[in-house]
Amino acid sequence: MLVAAAVPATHPAGATGAAAAGEPFVVSGSSLVQDGLDLVWNLQLAKPFSPSALRGEHRTLCLLIERPTNGTVAGQACVAARGPRGTPTLLYQRVTAAGPGPASMMTATITRSSSSGWTASFQPSQVGSGYRPLRWQVISTLSRRGCTPAVPGRSRCSLLFPAEPAPLRLHTPQLVGCAPSGRSEVFSGPSNERDIALTFDDGPWPTPPAMDFVNLLAREHVPATFFEIGEHIPQFDASGAAERAMLAEGDMIGDHTWSHPEMTRLSTAAQESELERTVAAIRQRTGFTPCLWRPPYGAVDPQLVSLARSLGMLTIMWDVDPSDWALPGTSVIYLRVVSAAHDGAIVIQHFGGGPRYETLRALPSEISTLRARGYRFVTVAQLLGLKLIYR
């Protein structure tokens, strides 16, 4: 959801469309908005520019992040280039009374809409901010001989856009859903990325409590995907506290039907009820609508896959199964997972439907070994590149 609009262009008296050799670049328009988790900075100059040429021309283009209370600059994100190809990037510097500090490369998605335009998306933490109000301006500078400073005594020429800092009120984004795309039935993710998705079925459950899984994964900084049985939610997580904690920690919640039946034995109406009742139970407690479901026992057919897709859900299967439901022992679960792991794997384990202490105890070793082998842990939604929906 966009929560701010673009600021109209303003130029100093006498400024023309293209900057003269001794003037900073003229900004013809810019905006800073919130879109879900990200801040999106759009910049449009009056003439073409190359990020890789800015330094050689003694120019800078920076987004100033200013405190809303007194207007002082807290930091600046400056256009730059890296590598031999001059890949566009952003460098962030914290600003204090002593001036800008060391520059660090930001994690940002950058696109060029035209030779004179720029769009960069990044999370507020990249510019030292949370989801709280701020003010912003773009500063375009030129520091070389022959430039006439706008303020006498300064060694650099600079232009600010807009002329006064623009306010931006941010809000903490709430995950409310995800958009299904791609194949309707999925067994694994892309095999060209070293990603792996840990998934857990049959909860919430009391032995051990679902929060034990959530907390362990949070300590390990591992996002996971939990497929929940609807009738277990009012029994074992009536307030939705565990589910909300999952979403807050970056985990994903999926639908595992209301009562865990063999779905292919049911009528279409009964199948739809099993799925929709669970979605309603999850949404009621979290505001989140799942776009993933997993068939109990893996029992599925094309008609059921099609039905789930019509309800906005992908059918998520798996290709690594340690059979932890059979309680084979912690070391067996661990060995089965790490020996079968591969790029793009979807691992099925359980956090309900029986005592799952063995699975919980196996997790730290699984995570440590897989991480040492270079795997990155992702949710199923991340593995498949699904768009998350925030408000």
CA angle 232–233–234, rounded 5-degree value = 100
Q: How confident is the model at residue 22 (pLDDT cuts 50, 70, 90)?
A: confident
Confidence tier at 113 by pLDDT (50, 70, 90): confident
Q: What is the pLDDT of residue 7?
A: 39
Is 314:180 a contact under the CB 8 Å cutoff? yes
Under 8 Å between Cβ of 264 and 270: no
- Predicted pLDDT at 218: 96
- Give the per-residue pLDDT at 388: 96
Could you tell me the fold of the domain covering 27-168? Immunoglobulin-like (2.60.40)
Q: Which residues, at least 6 apart from 65, have a Cβ–Cβ distance to it below 8 Å?
A: 73, 74, 75, 76, 77, 127, 128, 129, 134, 136
Percentage of the chain surpassing pLDDT 70?
Answer: 92
Residues 196-220: tens digit of each pLDDT: 999 999 999 999 999 999 999 999 9
Window from 2-11, 157-166, 172-181, 327-336 with minimum mean pLDDT: 2-11
**Residue 148 confidence (pLDDT):** 62
Written as six digits, the tokens of 152 are 């006498």
8 Å CB contact between 181 and 381 = no
pLDDT in tens, 45-63: 999 999 999 999 999 999 9
Q: What is the CA radius of gyration of the chain?
A: 26
Q: List the catalytic residues.
A: 201, 350
Average pLDDT over residues 98-115: 95
Query: Angle at Cα 69 formed by Cα 65 and Cα 71, nearest 5°?
Result: 45
Instruction: Give the separation between CA 353 and CA 351, rounded to whole angstroms.
Output: 7
The tens digit of pLDDT for each residue in 368-384 reads 999 999 999 999 999 99
**pLDDT of the residue at 151:** 55
pLDDT at 291 over 90: yes
Q: What pLDDT digit, counting tens, does each position of 300-313 carry?
A: 999 999 999 999 99
Cβ–Cβ < 8 Å for 168, 319: no
Give percent above pLDDT 90 in the chain: 88
Query: Was domain 175-390 assigned CATH 3.40.50.150?
Result: no
Residue 153: pLDDT band by 50, 70, 90 thresholds?
low
Of 356, 99, 389, which Cα lies nearest the Cα of 205? 356
| Both tokens assigned to 239 | 């307030």
The residue extents of the domains of the chain are 27-168, 175-390
CA 228 to chain centre: 23
